[in-house]
Amino acid sequence: DRPEDMETRSPVVTIMGHVDHGKTSLLDAIRNANVVSGEAGGITQHIGAYQVEKNGQKITFIDTPGHAAFTAMRARGAQATDIAILVVAADDSVMPQTIESISHAKAAGVPIIVAINKIDKPSADPQKVRTQLLQHEVFVESMGGEVLDVEVSATKGTNLDKLLEAILLQAEVLDLKANANRTAEGVIIEAKLDKGRGSVATVLVQTGTLLVGDIVVAGNEWGRVRALVTDRGDHIKEALPSTPVEILGLQGTPQAGDRFAVVDNEAKAREITEYRQRKARDKAAARHAGQRGSLEHMMSQ
Ligand code: GTP
Ligand code: NA
Ligand code: MG
């Protein structure tokens, strides 16, 4: 990509944190507060990711159980996230999965924004959270560091705007860019087989523009894009970088974390996926042979 082709794209955010610290509540609260009601096809549906708009700028939230998805994608070498929101409940403070989340974000080189949640609770102690985070080398601004932190309440809806502003500020620092004027590439967020619609894959377009009619290779699967559906249920003709969108038309279901790319024609798509499927079969066969071998070895002892 030439530098002059690179355009600003919206940030992609994942929410992580300890169990029950309020990840789902926060995602739901942000989404509900920012859904434009009365919009065409405005019924929101769960597609594993959604976009909100703040001050005319978009933010993409990956809505799958943050931690697990993040880890699965990282294990497959896919990096979908620009910013990690670390949710820490102010009454519970830093816990084992908080620490794990910090290591994941740091290993991936993804900046953290701390959402100190449940500040509505009488037992909330946000200052304790900040102090404990120091021990894990997360230095928030008031502690002399550069990590943004926002006190929120997911259930009361407190300071959600501040959190979105912090995300946009962090995105500006990151100076996120992509080339929209090329064939699309990105990552599979989740995929399933739907009785009525066939294979449904939620993807994140990371570069280029994905179009209805494109031929897509996704992991070991391929297909021609029959429809693109947003988290609002809208059918769209094209999806720009940082857009999460459902693809209909794949012939199988790829895995979360698989990469996808648009190819020139069906013959090429077949060739690539047949090769990949053969390799996957060979690998499985080798694994079975290995297991059989060690079983025979054990029996002969
Ligand atoms: P897991 O996905 O199970 O790890 O949990 P989670 O992090 O998604 O937490 P979840 O959103 O399910 O919230 C856990 C509990 O905390 C629920 O009972 C929520 O109602 C409650 N909760 C979440 N946010 C807040 C908050 O801001 N204030 C209060 N008082 N309770 C909250
Ligand atoms: Na929970
Ligand atoms: Mg949850």
**Dihedral sign, CA of 10, 215, 44, 63?**
negative
Instruction: Please give the average per-residue pLDDT across 22-41, as a whole number.
Output: 74
- Ligand (nearest to CA of 28): 1
CA of 21 to the centre of ligand 1 (A): 5
Q: Which atom of ligand 1 is nearest to the CA of 152?
A: 27
Please give the annotated binding residues for GTP, written as ranges: 17-24, 63-67, 117-120
* Dist. CA 73–CA 81, nearest whole Å: 10
Count of C-beta atoms within a 10 Å radius of residue 197: 14
CA–CA separation, 153 vs 122, rounded Å? 12
ipTM, interface predicted TM-score of the complex: 0.99
Residue count of the chain: 301
Please spell the DSSP secondary structure of 7-37, one letter per residue: EE---EEEEEESTTSSHHHHHHHHHHHH--T
Q: For 6-18, what is the mean pLDDT?
A: 93
- pLDDT value at residue 294: 77
Ligand 2 centre distance from Cα of residue 117 (Å) = 13
Residue 41 has pLDDT above 70, yes or no: no
Q: Give the pLDDT band of residue 38 (cuts 50, 70, 90).
A: very low
The predicted pLDDT at position 76 comes to 61
Cα–ligand 1 centroid distance for 246 (angstroms):
28
Give the ligand at the shortest distance from the Cα of 25: 1
- What integer pLDDT is reported at residue 248 of this predicted model? 98
Task: Reduce the DSSP state of residue 257 to 3 states and report it.
Answer: coil
Give the chain's largest Cα–Cα span: 72
Q: Candidates 15, 24, 25: which one to mutate for ligand 1, based on the most atoms within 8 Å of Cβ?
A: 25
CA angle 258–50–42, rounded 5-degree value? 135
Work out the burial of residue 238: count CB atoms within 10 Å of its CB; fewer than 13 is exposed, 13-18 middle, 19 or more buried: middle
CA of 67 to the centre of ligand 1 (A): 15
Percent of the chain exceeding pLDDT 70 equals 91
Q: What is the mean pLDDT of residues 226-238?
A: 94
Q: What percent of the chain has pLDDT over 90?
A: 74
* Local confidence band at 68 (pLDDT 50, 70, 90 cut-offs): low
Beta bridge partners of 62: 14, 49
Output the CA–CA distances (angstroms, integers) from residue 129 to 94, 122, 153, in the order listed: 6, 15, 15
Nearby residues of 69 by Cβ (< 8 Å), 6 or more positions away? 14, 62, 189, 190, 256
* Proximal ligand: closest to the CA of 18: 1
Tell me, in angstroms, the distance from the centre of ligand 1 to residue 101's CA.
Answer: 17
Residues with CB under 5 A from ligand 3 (ion): 23-24
Residue with the smallest CA separation from ligand 1 atom 26 is 118
Which residues approach ligand 1 with their CB closer than 6 A?
17, 19-25, 117-118, 120-121, 153-155
Cα 242 off chain centre by: 10
CA distances from 242 to 8, 12, 144, 208, 279 (A): 10, 7, 32, 10, 31
Handedness of CA 229, 233, 235, 236 (dihedral sign): negative
pLDDT in the model for residue 256: 87
Question: Each residue of 239-289: pLDDT tens digit?
Answer: 999 999 999 999 999 988 899 999 999 999 999 999 999 999 999 999 888
State residue 69's pLDDT score. Answer: 60
